[in-house]
Amino acid sequence: MKTKKIVQLALFACLSVCIYAVESLIPPILPVPGVKLGLANVITLVVIYVIGTGESLLTLLIRITITTLLFGQVMSFLFSMAGGILSWIVMVLLSKIMDRCNIWAVSVFGAFAHNGGQILIAVAVTRQLAVAYYFLFLVISSVITGVFTGICAKYCIEKAEKIKLFKI
- Over residues 2-47, the pLDDT tens digits come to 888 899 899 999 999 999 999 988 887 777 677 788 999 999 999 9
86: Cβ contacts below 8 Å, ≥ 6 apart: 113, 114, 116, 117
Single pTM value for the model: 0.91
What band does 167 get if pLDDT is binned at 50, 70 and 90? low
DSSP state at residue 98: S
Q: Which of 130, 136, 120 is nearest to 87 (CA)?
A: 120
> How many other C-beta atoms are found inside a 10 Å radius of the C-beta of residue 148?
18
- For the stretch 123-151, pLDDT in tens is 999 999 888 888 888 888 899 999 999 99
Domains of the chain listed by start with CATH number: 3-162 (1.10.1760.20)
